[in-house]
Chain A
């Protein structure tokens, strides 16, 4: 038969089905194969909020979105080219994300009356039969039937046989995109090492899916996505939370400190704990505390003892840690606080992304309590920025908050990972001797205004620290009015001084004096980068800068902003960075705010820029 092959620059696919359908596995297998081929990739998993929601229901739909291409991939894709659905609920939950004219691959077995009812389609309505999908290319495949017949002689029970139906889909998609199955075959051989019958069965079904594409006359178009022109080097795939965990281990090694990670399980931060707890052979100590407060306090205790104390949570947990953050900044001990932001307030939307904790991070404590804050912009950037958070915390003896978010925490991208030797060393100086005649003064500062880190065990340096206001230099309790004002200003100046030790702000893309500067921060980087590239290609005068050091700002930020005619600040919140920019620089920036638990799409940004340009 004749197959036409169409060349595509990029494709966005979503695999969707019940959480028991092996959707995440199918997605990651295709991702790995695409990456190995040389495509640039960006992925995002979409889990149901309930762990085991009833099968076949809308609440139980699990999705995996993959964007791969021969060009730079900055986001998991705004709209889908291909939607693979294992049942009716998966179609209903995701059809609105599919481009008009897009392709639907539907497992017809998942559209039987029972599944249609579970997906809450009215009686007698079947979307793949009633013409409601006329604007799309719909391919119907009875995946269950094909899987069963491929395994008819395998000796596997019906249930076990049916479990490999995701491999049929994977095989078919491999055929559709001209991919070979080698990586997945190797993966299956490793995964089922102890069950040769399952290796054989899964490979058989995988190949059956591929061959089905080849032999069935229903499909006459295939696609090809060429390799992307990525910088040369060795790559791996990385998710944000994983990068965060690795960044912490790297910072511990580069500072020579032990890593102590005190935390309490919370979505979407828990995967950092899961990752770190695997790496005990790096000397990593993970402590699953009884609550959020204990988690941060234990980290403070560890820092007091001379380790790198780290705690992590998401919005509600960060709120609980607030008082202890105040203590850490009074004690002037190193501490890293990780906030993987999610939709708020209160419990909010735990599995959805948002960047609404910036003001909480910078201002959210009692008293005048300045905190250094950094934010990661992509999954792999979590590595770099959490490493920076550790560096600043240790070298400036202060708590530092690292902001990530649910989008980049669970998102994945290729990462040209560094060699350990390329990472900079973090300087640790424990006090060894008395610093003022025959006395030790715990709050005698150096020129950076940093106090000495004197850990227990050194004779002669015994001293007491605490949360009560203290006299400068001696650290003794003091309610003296002038001293208090002096200490408040000193603590603020110490944080402001950090600006001398961080990189200057750069422009990511575009001119230094554009008509519109798009100023972003955090996990919106990919979307803003895409939109900027598209606008520049249209000949618009735009530029994009992405802030990673949120407090203090890079020293040149104000000048950089003033060189542009207008400043647009898109944020996934109700306007937070914009408040700070207006307050600090009196610049009349424009906001673009999306508060739907969803990332920005290119079109959101472009429309806002068009408005400003007109």
Chain B
């Protein structure tokens, strides 16, 4: 079977369905990177399941030739919980958006992370409701003008990475649709992580929120506004990586490598929950005075038992201890009497 696996190509993952996202949508790039990465993961196509909720991104399963379910709004996480509970042999991928995961599906989203089912969640964040044609979402920024906030949104926005760390997620990463190389890298990492992997992907909605992430994706600004973190490497950014981040107690500060030694920089450690928290809080809009660059890459990765393994283990332990249950025994119960 391994030869068959090796033979799988991106083409084998394309369905006969016409892709119907708006021309220019960031989703196209993400679909392409996923179809490119999956054949490299050593999986069999029949053992892969994509589950989505509702929203533009949630059409994803129709476009990838694996098993798939396009479910209801916000519930892909809950459906995947049941599926993984009974089928830990499957590679389960969830596709969700900012509204799907953090508004209507917020409850299931946080509980999935605390239980740590072994699934990969691709969170397409475009900071807008696209499918319903342009209302503000839980990640829209304060003051954002949308169809439902003509005078500016007054809701405080969620910080997804901080939310996930707060829910004890065991894997938190960020990528963007316009950086395919880095996206492919973190997609692989998400797959390799055993546990719930959250991959937030900045995705441009060119119809209702065009350019929301331009400042991170465009050449002119990218170098100064983004920070790509790598395990064991110092935090550097800027033109020719001549700027760095130093920790002043718990406060990150930007330093110039012309005057500061690289040895004094913050060395990224994916296993450090506290520092991951600080990374997630580097969230000011780049236009803010003194804003930190926005981190991308794997913030945090922790090994913790997965719910489905604990569940299976408990079933096994109880069965070993009490013996495999016999239906006649429980039908009979503990106390019977006979009528003659």
Contact = CB atoms under 8 A, between A and B. Distances in A.
Given A281-B319, A462-B65, A465-B68, A324 B75 contact: yes
A286 to B, nearest CB: 9
Interface stretch (B28-36, B81-89, B141-149, B293-301): B81-89
Interface string B54-65: 000000011001
Contacts, number: 199
B101 to A, nearest CB: 14
Interface string A399-443: 000000000000000000111100000000000000000000000
A258 B311 CA distance: 13
B239 interface: no
B327 A281 contact: no
Interface in B42-93: 44-49, 51, 61-62, 65-72, 75, 77-87, 89-90
Given A35-B337, A280-B319, A466-B70, A301 B45 contact: no
Given A234-B337, A297-B78, A464-B68, A304 B83 contact: yes
A306 B86 contact: yes
Nearest to A467: B72
B90 A456 contact: yes
Contacts of B315: 280-281, 283-285
B314 interface: yes
Nearest to B319: A281
A457 to B, nearest CB: 6
B332 A417 contact: yes
B335 A32 contact: yes
A440 to B, nearest CB: 11
B70 A468 contact: yes
A227 B338 CA distance: 12
Contacts of A302: 82-83, 85-86
A33 B264 CA distance: 80
Interface centre among A238, A280, A284, A323 (most CB of B within 10 A): A280
Contact of B46 (A262, A287, A300, A462): A462
Interface in B326-340: 326-328, 330-333, 335-340
Contacts of B78: 289, 293-294, 297-298, 301
A55 interface: no
B331 A418 contact: yes
Nearest to B60: A464
A199 B62 CA distance: 67
A419 B46 contact: no
Interface residues of B, number: 59
Contact of B107 (A282, A294, A467): A294
Interface of A is mostly: mixed
Contact of A462 (B67, B311, B323): B67
Nearest to A237: B335
Nearest to B87: A305
B314 A280 contact: yes
A122 interface: no
B111 interface: yes
29 contacts: A233-B339, A237-B335, A246-B330, A246-B331, A279-B330, A280-B314, A281-B318, A282-B324, A285-B85, A289-B81, A289-B111, A294-B78, A298-B79, A301-B82, A301-B84, A304-B82, A418-B331, A419-B328, A420-B331, A456-B87, A456-B90, A457-B47, A460-B46, A462-B46, A463-B68, A464-B15, A464-B69, A465-B70, A467-B72
10 closest residue pairs by CB, A with B: A301-B82, A466-B70, A298-B82, A297-B78, A282-B325, A301-B83, A301-B79, A464-B68, A294-B78, A280-B318
Given A253-B327, A301-B81, A465-B69, 12 more contacts: A38-B337, A234-B332, A235-B338, A237-B333, A246-B330, A249-B327, A281-B324, A293-B78, A297-B75, A306-B86, A464-B62, A466-B71
Interface of A: 32, 35-36, 38, 227, 230-238, 246, 249-250, 253, 258, 260, 262, 279-285, 287, 289-291, 293-294, 297-307, 309, 323-324, 326-327, 331, 417-420, 456-468, 476-477
Interface of B: 15, 17, 44-49, 51, 61-62, 65-72, 75, 77-87, 89-90, 107-108, 111, 311, 314-315, 318-319, 321-328, 330-333, 335-340
